Amino acid sequence: MKPFREHRGKVVPLDRINVDTDQIIPKQFLKRIERTGFGQFLFYDWRFAADGKKNSGFVLDEPRYEGMSILVAGKNFGCGSSREHAVWALADFGFRAVVSSSFADIFANNSTKNGFLTVRLSESEVAELMRRSRETKDYQLTIDLEQCEVYDDQGFRAKFPVDEFVRHCLLNGLDDIGLTLQHEAEITAYESLHPAPAALQSPPQP
């Protein structure tokens, strides 16, 4: 996994609450069996008309936000389906982080497995970042995971909470399957006390 230590990038405001994963990546794009190439389908129904032509006016397509890498959005971001494709699409599009006042659990979990950061700030801080990113040309934000801090050049500075273990994995780009397998002895001990039910052990039918 790609480590996340510090990132400075252009901010784009998506002023909506409850952005669900069906919007982030609609279902028709979930049939691919690869992890890559989902960025082109990000927010597809909002960005493109039914005939595949670009809708005018969707914020991600405004020229002033070109090169954006930090999304600021309303509360409960990433709710709904567990599809990790949502994180893959955001990352593949070029985002490194989403800032919101709250995130759905599975989306937040999926993010951490992909070196993608969910930054939780207060509602008023999120509103302030939306305002600044709308009003300031090329508005940039720095996210410092070592210090758990977000700041800009105009005096905005805020701390964000992050689970210590999640932070450790993100900072070092650790593969958590490898970390769990460090507990092989404990897993084996657990399994010897709790064997799979007999009915399941019969071999799968041909």
Residues that bind another protein (CB under 8 A): 15-18, 20, 22-23, 26-28, 30-35, 45, 50, 74-76, 79-85, 87, 102, 104-106, 109-110, 113-114, 163-166, 168, 176-177, 179-181, 183, 186-187, 190-191, 194, 196-201, 204-205
CB of 30 or CB of 171, closer to another protein: 30
Distance in Å, CB of 50 to another protein, minimum: 6
Rounded Cα gap, residues 33 and 176, in angstroms: 22
CB of 155 or CB of 196, closer to another protein: 196
- Pairing state between β 117-120 and 140-144: unpaired
CB of 109 or CB of 142, closer to another protein: 109
Question: Which of the 8 DSSP states describes residue 57?
Answer: T
Distance in Å, CB of 105 to another protein, minimum: 5
135: burial class by Cβ within 10 Å (0-12, 13-18, 19+)? exposed
CB of 155 or CB of 204, closer to another protein: 204
Distance in Å, CB of 142 to another protein, minimum: 26
Distance in Å, CB of 171 to another protein, minimum: 13
| 8 A C-beta contact, residue 1 and residue 19 | no
At 71, phi and psi to the nearest 5? -100, 130
| Beta-carbon contacts of residue 169 (< 8 Å; ≥ 6 apart) | 1, 112, 176, 179
Three-class DSSP category at 87: helix
Distance in Å, CB of 174 to another protein, minimum: 10
